[in-house]
Structure 1
Amino acid sequence: MTGLLHIDSSLRTEGSVSREVSAAFATAWREAHPDAPYTYRDLAAEPLPHVDGEVVAARADTSGRHRLEQELVGELKAAETVLIGAPMYNFSVPSGLKAWLDWILVPELFANPETGVGVLTGKRVVVVTARGGSYAPGTPRADNDFQAPYLRLIFDQLGLRDVEFVHTELTLAHTVPHLAQFRAQADASREESHQAVRRLVVAG
């Protein structure tokens, strides 16, 4: 049976666009798969500790893995679809999401470097982002997007090739004066993101 692992990482619980759009995907997905397992993690409400030396040492000793690592890896392996809400913070991802990635980047999940295939290959990943400005191709800040390229690289290391991004741009247009001229584009981007996640649920 298919399952959904839904992860939110925005520090904002009210007014978060990444939470809003990821929730729209999750709601539509659960309506389409009413009997399927659903696991939710809020990395802001329940932050993960950073990986430390003790955890690294445990990874070298196959007889005793860290309990939290087992739990997080188990959630990932059990899901057929992974949904990640990832606002852009300082041109990259929130530290809470980085901590989650550090926990699940374990040798058993790495893809074979020759074939690119791993135990996670075949799973679907949907990343919902929210960016205060615009980092779309052709925009002045396109080269400052260290968020999507970073996540693609990480997922590639895990053999996850079915990765789709839904970007909501210009989310600060209604609050930052010098972006006010882009409010119409911001509203259009937000609406398109909602339409995009609905399409992805139908397509998946």
Structure 2
Amino acid sequence: MTLNILRIDASVRREGSVSRELNDKVIDRFAAAGDVAVTKRDLITPLPLIDETWIGATFTDPEDRTDEQTRALELSDDLIAELQAADTLVIGLPIYNFAIPSGLKAWIDLVSRRGVTFRYTESGPVGLLTGKRAIVTVASGGTEVGSDIDFATGYLRHALAFIGITDVLFVKADRLAIDAEATLKAAEAAVAELPLAA
């Protein structure tokens, strides 16, 4: 059975990116264990920010949307289709200035759609993309994952849960500026121990 992986790279660096290198290792681990199909979404190519037209389109029933509103949602539809088709997400998360990169925030905005990836109920929002898991490779120079100044991992965990993805594992290569060798060694060991099945 093929494992469908959606790989998301959020680093603004093509070369020398620890999160990209760790994503490679995660993919290699799954590929060595069985058949995988990988869809790549590289956020180094900027995504558009949501705007008034986009918001208006999401709050308009599909049959009532104008041509402009339909066009405004085309990329969002494509990104959501990638998510829907995936069994596992592999997300590279560099921490920039204590938070997630702007490209990853733009992606989250575009895939968080009322009635498509989440819905509101009397007891609160319910995510619609259930039965998936995410493996997040985190890289930071000085921000320790889980510390008071880490505003990235908690936010991403919450954003994924909001759309229904609650099985989230973090592989951390944090505080690289302090002890890169030990940090990378620990991260690679964590990749080697990742469970192959959700």
Deviation at 1:203, TM superposition (A): 4.7
Query: Once superposed, what is the RMSD of the aligned Cα atoms?
Result: 1.9
Equivalent residue number for residue 49 of structure 2: 50
Task: Identify which of 114, 128, 133 aligns with 1:124.
Answer: 133
TM normalised by structure 2 equals 0.86
Residue 12 of structure 1 deviates from its aligned partner by 1.0
Equivalent residue, structure 2, for 1:86 = 93
Secondary structure class of the residue paired with 1:172: helix
1:9/1:86 contact within 8 Å kept: yes
Unaligned 5+ runs, structure 1: 174-182
**Cα 1:78–1:203 shift into 2, 3 Å:** closer
Question: Would you identify which runs of 4 or more consecutive aligned residues in structure 1 move more than 3 Å?
Answer: 111-118, 201-204
Aligned to 2:38: 38
Deviation larger for 61-70 or 123-132: 61-70
Q: Within 5 Å, which residues of 2 pair with 1:51-130? A: 51-61=50-60, 62-63=62-63, 64=65, 65=70, 66-107=73-114, 108-110=116-118, 113=121, 114=123, 117-130=126-139
Q: What does the per-residue CA deviation read over 1:92-145, in whole Å, with 9 as the maximum and x for residues that have no partner?
A: 0000000000100101211565487532112001111101114155xxxx2111
Contact 1:128 1:165 survives alignment (8 Å): yes
**Cα drift, residue 43 of structure 1:** 0.4
Report the Cα offset of residue 195 of structure 1. Answer: 1.8
Matches within 5 A, 1:187-202: 187-202=181-196
Instruction: Classify 1:136/1:151 alpha carbon distance in 2 versus 1 (closer, same or farther; 3 Å).
Output: closer
Listed as ranges, the matches of 1:169-184 within 5 Å are 169-173=174-178, 183=179
Aligned mates of 1:67, 1:136 — CA distance in 2? 35
| Counterpart contact for 2:7–2:40, Cα < 8 Å | yes
Aligned to 1:28: 29
